[in-house]
Amino acid sequence: MERHVLTIPTQGPFNLRRSALVGFGHRAESGFDGVMRLAFTVDGTHEQTAGVAVRQDGDELHLTIQTDADPQRAADQVARVLSVHVDGTGFADLARRDPVATALYAAADGLRPPQFYSPYEAAAWSILSARRSAAQGRVLRQRVSEQLGTAYDVAGERHYASERLCGETQPMTDDEFTARAEAWRPYRMWMTFLARALG
């Protein structure tokens, strides 16, 4: 697995710590050591994954990327996930002129809305977290990721990119649907439904 170091701009106020600790989807970090750790299926691929350590230095994010995919594509995906792929300076300008926006801006402290790695990741999370607590959904996702995913050592911690869970975009036969759902034995009806809906 190749390692790359890339830098992307924040394009306006941004607080990596707030993004790392916001707690959305399967993420529930209780502390922040200066690094946000990500592992995902790279956009536009079916089986190529990446593990990324993100560090902030002022208005730049330094990415240490482990991947066999195009590292720029992985960096672009990180920018999208952290919502720094769009220019956020306009919100700061608005906050200087509008008292309501000023209060929102102060409360947000550089937080931008974090995104799921992909629509497939969001769909999988909607099933894993349905009718159970987010904590239970996170445990289930972790177990599935460990069984089906690629392991990365991201800044000293193990993270899993679940390419077989979230990266499939090719049509599957009925037998392939059944085999895929069997890997999710307790949830195979839901997974089969999801796979058919997305296929």
| CA-closest candidate to residue 111, choices 4, 9, 10, 43 | 10
Tell me the C-alpha distance between 44 and 163, whole Å.
12
| CA-closest candidate to residue 111, choices 173, 42, 56, 161 | 56
pTM of the model: 0.79
Question: How do 3-9 and 150-154 pair as beta strands?
Answer: unpaired
Which residue intervals of the chain are DSSP H helices?
16-21, 71-81, 89-97, 99-108, 119-128, 134-148, 163-166, 174-182, 188-198
Q: What domains can you pick out in the chain, each with its CATH number?
A: 3-115+150-162 (3.30.310.20)
Question: What is the pLDDT tens value at each position of the chain, 199 positions in all?
Answer: 789 999 999 999 999 999 999 877 777 788 899 999 999 999 888 789 999 999 999 999 999 999 999 999 999 999 999 999 999 888 888 888 888 888 888 888 889 989 999 888 888 888 888 888 888 888 888 888 888 889 999 999 999 997 655 544 455 666 776 676 666 555 555 555 555 555 5
